[in-house]
Amino acid sequence: MPGRRTIGVDMGGSKLLAGAVDSELSVHHRVQRTLTGLDQAGLLDIAVDAVEEACALSGGDVEAVGFGIPSLIDQRTGRAVIAVNLPLKDVFFAEVMTERLGLPVFVDNDANMAALAEHRAGAALGCGEAVMLTIGTGIGGGLILGGELYRGGVGAAAELGHMVIELDGPPCQGNCPNHGCMEAMASGTALAREAARIAGERPGSGLAKALADGRALAGPVVTELAYDGDEAAIAVLELIGTRLGVGIASLVNIFNPEVVVIGGGVMAAGDLLLDPARATVAARALPPSRDEVRIVTAQFGVEAGMVGAAAMAYDAIAAARL
């Protein structure tokens, strides 16, 4: 019979991933849902359904549920204030989910949860100072400062994707009122936009052929073509990687991290994306920080947020027993 577990839930801009996770942070069962085209009520319904399925699959006693959601959260009240890329606004998320699921529920920002997982058992293990960026529909951020997850004054810190890297850049997406944010310039959404533009400029490219064939020029297709040697697809990843590096250079200057961990679905591109980012950081950041920092992919990959949310739930249950 399986031991006691928590359910970790990573709610992204377009997908939800839930899993039953044991105390060693091994994932035993996974449930995925698509989140596009939903209103807030539908989003909450999908979340409940996914957790209930994960609980049923786990076969053991579920102690609690941890949610990582792409929202600014007031940790004083547990209120999800607003999400940039999802219809979440002014909802007491943990309270609502506790009532609907009949289990203790804990909530934090999704990128914070990815940072927690990577610090606890992944690419930032043993580091006192680390920066986490999760690149998907948007760009989330998490900070480990002094060996602890940093949440800011009320819990809404580390919105690193909304650091401006281009003063007159395009409007940011969703509910962000800014222009030229790293999210607007270097997210998976930005990658798809630039891929379509470059495909139009290079009609003989594999990228243009994929577009003509009706394939969506999102991260997976661009990455596949780049690995196949298509120069247009490689140019897209170099552009996005360079922009990402501009943002990372500022984060390196500000925080002097030992490691910058990059996660999210776009990271299937690996060094095709990270090498241009590393080169830009080397050219733009200040010594000694630039010479010491490592820029690496998340060890937990796209499951970092889910694993971190489960770890948060374990931590909260342990604290309640003291």
> What are the E-state strand segments in 48-205?
62-69, 71-74, 79-83, 89-92, 105-109, 130-135, 139-145, 148-149
Average pLDDT, the chain: 94
At 103-151, the pLDDT tens digits run: 999 999 999 999 999 999 999 999 999 999 999 989 999 999 999 999 9
Q: What is the mean pLDDT of residues 165-175?
A: 94
What is the CATH superfamily name and number for domain 125-298? Answer: ATPase, nucleotide binding domain (3.30.420.40)
Order of strands across the sheet that contains 71-74:
71-74, 79-83, 89-92
Whether 3 has a pLDDT exceeding 70, the answer reads no
How many Å is the maximal CA-CA distance in the chain?
65
Q: What is the mean pLDDT of residues 151-159?
A: 93
Percent of the chain at pLDDT > 70 equals: 99
**What is the C-alpha separation between 195 and 115, in angstroms, rounded?**
29
End-to-end CA distance of the chain: 27
- What's residue 70's pLDDT? 92
Residue the block writes with tokens 């090498």:
275
- What's residue 61's pLDDT? 87
**What is the C-alpha separation between 83 and 1, in angstroms, rounded?**
39
pLDDT category of residue 1 using cuts at 50, 70 and 90: very low
Non-local CB neighbours of 105 within 8 Å, separated by 6+ positions: 64, 65, 66, 67, 93, 94, 97, 98
**What is the C-alpha separation between 83 and 179, in angstroms, rounded?**
17
Non-local CB neighbours of 24 within 8 Å, separated by 6+ positions: none
Q: What is the token pair recorded at 210? A: 């994929």
**What is the C-alpha separation between 66 and 189, in angstroms, rounded?**
27
Half-sphere exposure of 133 (CA within 13 A, CB side): 32
Cis peptide upstream of residue 177 (ω within 30 degrees of 0):
no
Percent of the chain at pLDDT > 90 equals: 88
> What are the E-state strand segments in the chain?
5-11, 15-21, 27-34, 62-69, 71-74, 79-83, 89-92, 105-109, 130-135, 139-145, 148-149, 259-263, 294-297
Q: Where in the chain is the domain with CATH 3.30.420.40?
A: 5-115+302-321, 125-298
Of 172-176, 204-208, 223-227, the poorest mean pLDDT is in 172-176
Whether 22 has a pLDDT exceeding 50, the answer reads yes
At 61-112, the pLDDT tens digits run: 899 999 999 999 999 888 999 998 899 999 999 999 999 999 999 999 999 9
**What is the C-alpha separation between 127 and 125, in angstroms, rounded?**
6
**What is the C-alpha separation between 103 and 107, in angstroms, rounded?**
13
Q: What is the token pair recorded at 48? A: 């409940």
Whether 2 has a pLDDT exceeding 60, the answer reads no
CATH node for 5-115+302-321: 3.30.420.40
- What's residue 4's pLDDT? 80
From residue 115, give the alpha-carbon distance in Å to each of 145, 186, 222, 243: 11, 19, 27, 22
